[in-house]
Amino acid sequence: MTTTIQYTVDADGIAILALDIPGQTMNLLTPELVGDLQSCVEKLAGDQAVKGAVITSAKPAFMAGADLKDLVTAYDRGWTVADGYRQSQELSQAFRRVETCGKPVAAAINGVALGGGLELCLACHYRVLADDRKAKIGLPEVTIGLLPGAGGTQRLPRLIGIREALPLMLEGRQLTPDKALELGIVHELAPADQLVERARRWVLDAGDPEAPWDKQGFRIPGGAGAMNPKAVETFMVGTSLLAGKAFHNYPAPKAIMSAVYEGTITPFDTGLRIESKYFAQLVSGVVARNMMRTLFVNKGASDKLARRPAGVEKSTVGKLGILGAGMMGAGVAYVSARAGIEVILLDTSIEGAEKGKAYSRTLLEKAISRGKSTPDKADAVLGLITPTIDYADLDGCDLVIEAVFENREIKANVTARAEAVIPDTGIFASNTSTLPITGLAEASERPEKFIGIHFFSPVDKMQLVEIIVGEKTSDEAIARSLDYVQQLRKTPIVVNDSRGFYTSRCFMTFTNEGMTMVTEGINPALIENAAKMASMPVGPLAVIDEVTIELGYKIAMQAKADLGDAFQPISGFDIMKRMVEELDRKGKRYGKGFYDYPEGGEKHLWLGLTELYPLAEQQPSVDEVKNRLLIIQALETARCYEEGVLSHPADADLGSIFGWGFPPWTGGTLSFIDTMGIAKFVAECDRMAGAYGPRFEVSDWLRARAGRGETFHPAA
């Protein structure tokens, strides 16, 4: 009797194994399912009346892969390499038994098959995939710091060749059915209602119970080994790309390359053991723990609105008002209309509002050209966006988002004009990136319905949305804002009010540290390259050029105006002031900043920067620069947590990775502290405070926490 697999035998002697874990919306490779699979395979192998089998799913999708909620705790539970090896081998051998049971086995893949789900399919002798663009397949383990540990690194290269297989595993790409068929990963496509019958027909008519790599004389397509020119070229290029992209911060890509290289020059079963060895090293390591916890477990919880206040009825936004049709407003209009929401896009001129709508038209035209949309779908999205200059058009809006200039007076004016029109039940949100929500809410007649909804640019690509709670913001406003973010299929975090909130405040420490290093005479190229070597997306000088030095300077000046005598300029204030006021180098938008942007050429660091701040004779090591840049961001996050700006470590980690690009291998800023060890982190901050200034000083609260050895994330 099995509880996770429905086992039946039809009149033709074909066993149908339908995966179906009770109480779950998606099949996962739980110990129970693996045990049931082994029992079913032994049953069909020993039954002479059974001619072969079809493995499918009783759920809308085939299988999502391993149960990561269990694997994510492996490191904290003290798993050794031996524990990881045993785990991989148990699963690998279960799938190997499917492959060598002596009966032909076909997979009827009726939906998503990822990770271990695809590995099970690869262990079947024939694969039929649903002809539906939603039926994605892939081996995405690298994105959470792992490798395919149930035969994926051995079967896929033997099936389609090393050159085609490696990029799929190194990038974690998910394939549509037509691409999977083109590459030869599946044998045929079929409508969903014909999948099982097509698989049955193959078993009955041509069922071959032996995998290609088990046949005598098998050769890997395209070749393998150190003596094969094509294989050598693939590994040489792959190794170079890894060094250039990952900078050795991510062990999974290197482990995948090694498992494929070593495994494909050995017998298949030896290759499986090699794969398990590398899987074991990864799953028992801290990088995989960090990535699984933040990028899968905590992101999944956030997407399901883990921070939503209880007791508030679920809501949807049917009509949305957007004040300001600039880059941010236009981006919010696009993602909202794409989610089926009616959008009123208001600007000071109809030309400006129309230009904001044209942004959506441009994005939709690109989607059509790439085969990701159709003209009819694009017209439907555009039809939901109404450009206007008339506030009366906001009547009936469930939510209004203000995305005007970062000026308190302008924001107060549009708040009053919008609230005069929208219903009493309407929520008003500001997309400000720095100005405190509580202060902006003073212009509102209903501060309990005033909240911050901070999108990131470009809105259509950035997954994170930061919800900012003011002093008077109600639970209803929080819940309804989170519901709206979920409508957009974006990932929300919830933070409390503060100047710069969480993401902008911590991101500015990164750019400030880079600028400060320039004033210390550190080579700008060293600063930029060290940041990328730490796995930041770009260097601090390049990124402040992107957002403009002028904006950073204006934010500082606004803070000075707001705080008066209490204002403490950041260490990079003077260089910003010189770049903006004296040199007119305001950033990329203006054609010059820390970089030059020659027309038709590649951008490059401004040569005059080292004349402005001559290079110091003694330059720091790359590691020292990397550590300065990472530690200052993590320290500011700890301050946000201490002050109550952040309530949950998971929000801190998600916000840092998805908001401003803190390296995913760390798991996020607070995971970075936990991984380093809080006592060591505090000691490094003390050293840097002595060497570089008081911005690295730690609070008594953090020092006491270090003394207790108290981590931010509780151990599993």
Query: CB of 168 within 8 A of CB of 139?
Result: yes
Distance of CA 112 to the CA centre of its chain: 19
- Residue 518 CA to residue 572 CA, distance in Å, equals 9
The packing angle between helices 116-123 and 152-160, to 10°, is 60
Q: By C-alpha distance, which of 344, 294, 306, 303 is closest to 324?
A: 344
Residue 70, number of CB atoms within 10 A of its CB:
15
Residue 1 has a pLDDT of 67
pLDDT score recorded for residue 239: 64
Are the CB atoms for 76 and 289 separated by under 8 Å? yes
CA–CA gap between residue 702 and residue 169 (Å, rounded): 40
In angstroms, how far apart are the furthest CA atoms of the chain?
89
| Contact criterion met (CB below 8 Å) for 283 and 146 | yes
How confident is the model at residue 246, as a pLDDT?
A: 67
Options 3.30.2040.10, 1.10.1040.10, 3.40.190.10, 1.10.1040.50; which CATH number does 504-644+648-708 get?
1.10.1040.50
Catalytic residue among 125, 187, 248, 454: 454
Q: DSSP 3-state assignment of 359?
A: helix
- What dihedral angle (degrees, nearest 10) is formed by the CA atoms of 418, 421, 426, 429? 0
Q: What is the strand order of the sheet 5-9 is part of?
A: 5-9, 14-19, 52-57, 105-109, 126-130, 188-190
Residue 697 Rama label (left phi>0; alpha psi -120 to 50; beta): beta
Considering Cα of 28, then 34, then 40, then 46, what sign does the dihedral take? positive
Query: Nearest CA to 526 among 516, 514, 511, 536?
Result: 514
Q: Which two tokens stand for residue 221?
A: 């397509």
Assigned architecture for domain 5-284: Alpha-Beta Complex (3.90)
What is the pLDDT, as a whole number, of residue 232?
62
- The pLDDT, as a whole number, for residue 552 is 86
Alpha-carbon gap, residue 442 to 246, rounded angstroms: 47
The residue to which tokens 């990561």 are assigned: 68
* 362 class by beta-carbon count within 10 Å (0-12 exposed, 13-18 middle, 19+ buried): exposed
Total Cβ atoms within 10 A of residue 235: 19
What type of residue sits at position 437?
A: I
Q: What is the pLDDT of residue 236?
A: 64
Q: Where are the alpha helices (H) located in 172-250, listed in sequence order?
A: 177-183, 195-206, 229-246
Residue 248 catalytic?
Answer: no
The answer, yes or no, to whether the previous bond of 209 is cis (omega within 30 of 0) is no
CB 332 within 8 Å of CB 322: yes
Percentages of the chain per state (helix, strand, coil), in multiples of 5: 55, 10, 35
Bridge partners, residue 7, by sequence: 17
pLDDT reported for residue 563? 79
Contact criterion met (CB below 8 Å) for 440 and 467: no
Q: How many CA atoms lie within 13 A of 274 on its CB side?
A: 21
- CA-closest candidate to residue 530, choices 630, 406, 390, 664: 630
Q: What is the rounded distance in angstroms from the CA atom of residue 12 to the CA atom of residue 28?
A: 30
- Cα 233 to chain center, whole Å? 31
The residues pairing with 319 across neighbouring beta strands, listed in sequence order, are: 342
User: What is the pLDDT, as a whole number, of residue 500?
Assistant: 80
- What are the structure tokens assigned to 3, written together? 């509880």
Q: Are 111 and 181 a contacting pair, CB within 8 Å?
A: no
What pLDDT sits at residue 44?
95
Residues with pLDDT less than 50, the chain: none
Q: Give the span between the Cα atoms of 445 and 417, in whole angstroms.
A: 11
Amino acid at 367: A
Query: Is the fold of 5-284 the same as that of 504-644+648-708?
Result: no
pLDDT the model gives residue 568: 85
Domain ranges of the chain: 5-284, 319-498, 504-644+648-708
H or E segment and range at residue 309: none
- CATH value of 319-498 in 3.40.50.720, 3.20.20.30, 3.30.360.10, 3.40.50.300: 3.40.50.720
Q: Which residues pair with 52 in a beta bridge?
A: 14
